[in-house]
Amino acid sequence: MTGPRREPAPGLTGAGLVVLAAVCFGTLGPLSRFAGDAGVSSLALVTWRATLGGLSMIVFIAARMAAGHRPALAIGALSGRERRSLLAAGVANTLLNLAVFVAFQRISIALALLVFYLYPSFVAIASVAWFGERLDRVRWAALATSVLGMVLVVAGGGSLGGIDAIGLVLALVGAVAQAVYVLIARHGFGQVPGAQAAAATMLLAGLLYAITAVVIGRAAIVAQPLTSSAALLPVLAAGLVGAGIPTVAFIAGIRLLGAPRAAILATLEPVVGVSLAAVLLGEAPQPVQVVGGVLIIAAGVLLQLRAPDELAEHEAVPVPE
């Protein structure tokens, strides 16, 4: 006779989901290279990724509603400020993904990811400057550590003349846009459920990418992934494995684990991305860059440890549903 079956602890399940999300997000660098090698432009890739990710979130929302969870919040129920905030978040999401994916094509994936992960420090600085938050000595130390890490990451690329300046700037633009997104999500539309916010911002991004392609006279590039299986497979993977699955996993995991611990585990993403780039593409970072990356990630962890009520996410800040 067997005893009652033990269910996994919520915290353990949540940690597993967040780790799954970080691993999936970490595949985006190599997937972007594979898509590029198959003739898919960065604009086509982000258009498909955003659209597939948004559609995945709609399926997730529908499944939750079918299971008895509360229905999606009607847009008409939002205030004008919240609707404007959602729009601004969608624009920030559009900019950050395009900037980072182009950066992946111009500089090493390791360098792009490590620069991008300066965004927790940018969030902390902006919170002090615009939202009246105070930094204690530990968090000031975290910011200094992050800056030092950035210096080492850049210096590890050799002489400054050997670094693609445009790629580096784009990675920084992505980090700033991600910080803007997090701040808008935190302060602009707190009552919108996380899954719905993620669906709205990703689908808006997909629409803006498509409009951009039309405006610049390159509408045909959206069909690039359909030219061959070598082009389509990495794009589908970027949309499902690199957007839909990890966003769902992160939203579910953060509710079980809590925001601070989830944000700390999410720093596994650049580790996965750098490791995959080294194994699959031969892009091993220099030792000094590894040290710099560790400092940047450590700074992000410190900032989360000292900010228990703050969230830092990929596509949306979830709220209880």
Whether residue 26 is contained in a domain is answered as yes
Whether residue 315 is contained in a domain is answered as no
Res 284 pLDDT > 90: no
Whether residue 310 is contained in a domain is answered as no
Whether residue 6 is contained in a domain is answered as no
According to the model, what pLDDT value does residue 238 have? 94
Res 263 pLDDT > 90: no
How many domains would you assign to the chain?
1
Res 307 pLDDT > 90: no
According to the model, what pLDDT value does residue 127 have? 75
Whether residue 312 is contained in a domain is answered as no
Measured distance CA(51)–CA(163) in Å, rounded: 33
Instruction: Identify which has the larger pLDDT, 99 or 312.
Output: 99
Q: Which of 8-12, 45-49, 206-210 comes out lowest in average pLDDT?
A: 8-12
Average pLDDT in the 55-67 region? 88
The mean predicted confidence, pLDDT, of the chain is: 80
According to the model, what pLDDT value does residue 304 have? 61
Whether residue 3 is contained in a domain is answered as no
Domain membership of residue 144 as a residue range: 13-65+75-305
pTM of the entire structure? 0.79
CB of 276 closer than 8 Å to CB of 226: no
- CA dihedral of residues 101, 104, 107, 112 (deg, nearest 10): 80
pLDDT in tens, 71-94: 677 777 778 888 888 889 889 989
According to the model, what pLDDT value does residue 311 have? 43
Whether residue 276 is contained in a domain is answered as yes
Whether residue 2 is contained in a domain is answered as no
Measured distance CA(234)–CA(80) in Å, rounded: 38
pLDDT in tens, 140-175: 777 778 778 767 766 665 444 456 889 999 999 999
Q: 3-state class of 171 per DSSP?
A: helix
- Number of Cα atoms under 13 Å in the Cβ half of residue 165: 3
- CA dihedral of residues 34, 38, 44, 46 (deg, nearest 10): 0
Bin 39: left if φ > 0, else alpha if -120 < ψ < 50, else beta.
left
**How far is CA 92 from each of CA 143, 175, 182, 232, rounded to the nearest angstrom?**
23, 10, 9, 26
Q: 3-state class of 233 per DSSP?
A: helix
CB of 89 closer than 8 Å to CB of 181: yes
